[in-house]
Amino acid sequence: MTNERPEGRDILVKVDNVSMQFGANLVLRDVSLEIPVGQTLVLLGESGCGKTVLLKTIIGLIRPTRGHVMFNGIDLTTLSEKEISVLRLRFGFVFQNAALFDSLTVGQNVAFPLRQHRKMGADEMRELVLENLAAVGLPDDVIFKKPAELSGGMRKRVGLARALILNPELVLYDEPTTGLDPIMADVINELILRTSRRGMVTSIVVTHDMATARKVADRIVMLFPLSRLEPNEPQIIFDGSPDQLDTVRDRRVRQFVKGEAGQRMMEMRATAGQLINKTE
């Protein structure tokens, strides 16, 4: 694995001053990122800091309140729903809980993108589905099962097979190892690595699992929840290689990397104190 940041490559995804607000709740504020072709970027951060929202903004599932998202120079925020649908064939999205369609079998799930966008015979399609399932280590007979019959790890792998079947240029993973045992988590990490080496696949991985981050990342970006930031502080509190993570001086980053609750507990106690004072 190369941990160097690929310099001088074309920019595939450009997030330009993106802000996102749900009702009165501001989740992202002026976030900017440039992701070159072939890079594996890991987005780290606490729960609720806007990682998943940023990921969904990048593939146009959510339109940002302000700012632009460019994919290969195309501004997603100006495209119609139909134009984005066509562009999405170049993305693969692995959802947190796999998001397999309950009403379809595993085989139909993996074949879904093919049925939507490719014209091919049933035999050819079946072969391609089996090939993709084998690539994530699943046996042939799994295609007749319903998603509810599978374990968490198997569901994630089916989700991965479905996301990869159209050979996307950009693969996005939303917490791919959450809720899995350490061995299955490492299997998923290996699959992410293998995928990113396949051709020039660019990957964005949202996680709060440090093992995943260290194993797969070329570059790590850490977001911080806006509610605990001053109005003029940037939301990205770290942007660098996994090695730089160990030498960083920012206390918030160090605490996250080591998984220490100290400062956070003090903040929570202070907030609870304020609440009690107000209600009395």
Closest-CA residue to 2 (of 29, 33, 39, 54): 39
Give the three-state DSSP class for 61: coil
- Report the alpha-carbon distance of residue 269 to residue 148 in Å, rounded: 41
Q: Mask 196-215, x = binds other proteins (CB under 8 A)?
A: --------------------
Q: Please state, in angstroms and rounded to a whole number, the distance separating the CA atoms of residues 17 and 141.
A: 47
Decide: is 56 part of the binding site for other proteins (CB under 8 A): yes
Compute the C-alpha angle 133/207/192, nearest 5°.
Answer: 30
97 binds other proteins (CB under 8 A): yes
**Exactly one of 21, 85, 167, 227 binds other proteins (CB under 8 A); which one?**
85
For residues 172 and 94, the answer to whether their CB atoms sit within 8 Å is yes
Least Å distance, CB 43 to other proteins, is 17
Give just the sign of the alpha carbon dihedral 91, 120, 103, 151. Answer: negative
* Strands of the 40-44 sheet, one edge to the other: 91-94, 170-174, 202-206, 40-44, 219-223, 236-240
Nearest distance from C-beta of residue 188 to other proteins, angstroms: 18
Nearer to other proteins, 43 or 166 (CB): 166
Q: Closer to other proteins at the Cβ: 177 or 238?
A: 177
| Window of 55-63, 65-73, 205-213, 260-268 that interacts with other proteins by CB under 8 A | 55-63
User: Residue 80 class from Cβ within 10 Å (0-12 exposed, 13-18 middle, 19+ buried)?
Assistant: exposed
Pairing mode, if any, of strands 74-75 and 40-44? unpaired
Among 102, 141, 230, 246, binds other proteins (CB under 8 A): 102
Site map for other proteins, 28-47, x if CB under 8 A? --------------------
Q: How far is Cα 242 from Cα 255, in angstroms, rounded to an integer?
A: 15
150-189 residues near other proteins, rule: CB under 8 A: 162
Considering only 44, 50, 91, 191, the residue that binds other proteins (CB under 8 A) is: 91
Return the residue of 11, 70, 79, 89 that touches other proteins, per CB under 8 A.
89
Angle at which helices 122-135 and 152-164 pack, to 10 degrees? 130
Shortest Å distance, C-beta 85 to other proteins = 5
Asked whether position 100 contacts other proteins by CB under 8 A, the answer is yes
C-beta of 104 vs 229, nearer to other proteins: 104
Residue with Cβ nearer other proteins (63 or 251): 63
End-to-end CA distance of the chain: 57
Q: Which residues bind other proteins (CB under 8 A)?
A: 56, 59, 61, 81-82, 85-86, 88-89, 91, 93, 95-97, 99-102, 112-113, 116-117, 162, 275, 278-279
